[in-house]
Amino acid sequence: MDSYGEQREIYSQKVRAGKRTYLFDVRATRNNDYYITITERKKNADGDVHKQKLFLYKEDFNKFLASLNNVVDHVKTELLPDYDYEQYDRPYDDNGYAADANYNGNYNNNADGGGERYDRQNEQPGRNPYGSGYPDSGK
């Protein structure tokens, strides 16, 4: 890889959720240390895109994941135990609509439980969730 910018993004996974898109990116520092960015992109009624980004460092991975799992589990088991969470486990097209009208509830396009992935470091098959340009350019 020629430039520092190309080395920074190591792995990405995108989760589409209606008008929202969540991007999970593994990035590298100049010293080959790794961290995760979690970005929420949401289109408003005017078509403008609003982004929020969270940086998660390796020393916080276990605490963050444990807390996230605890909070999600609390909502699923204590607050909304009868809610059908699987109704949203279906693929979406680029406009946020269900991509498969014949969806049977078993959609999983990768071993990690869904979403699109792109492994930039190893150039593994998969679609780059950002397009062909710089990650946030949308090109």
How far is it, in rounded angstroms, from Cα 127 to Cα 61? 26
**Smallest Cα–Cα separation from 90: which of 105, 112, 79, 110?**
105
Helix/strand/coil for 8: helix
Architecture of the structural domain at 4-118: Roll (3.10)
**Smallest Cα–Cα separation from 13: which of 94, 136, 119?**
119
Contact (CB, 8 A) for 120 and 14? no
Question: Domain residues of the chain, as ranges?
Answer: 4-118
Q: Does the structure show a pLDDT above 60 at 74?
A: yes
Q: Does the structure show a pLDDT above 80 at 108?
A: no
Task: Give start and end residues of each alpha helix (H) in 1-131.
Answer: 4-8, 61-74
Q: Does the structure show a pLDDT above 80 at 19?
A: yes
* Claim: this prediction has a pTM higher than 0.75: no
pLDDT of 13 reads: 95
Q: Does the structure show a pLDDT above 80 at 37?
A: yes
b/e per residue 17-29 (b: at least 16 CB within 10 A)? eeeebebbbbbbe
Residue type at 127 in one-letter notation: R
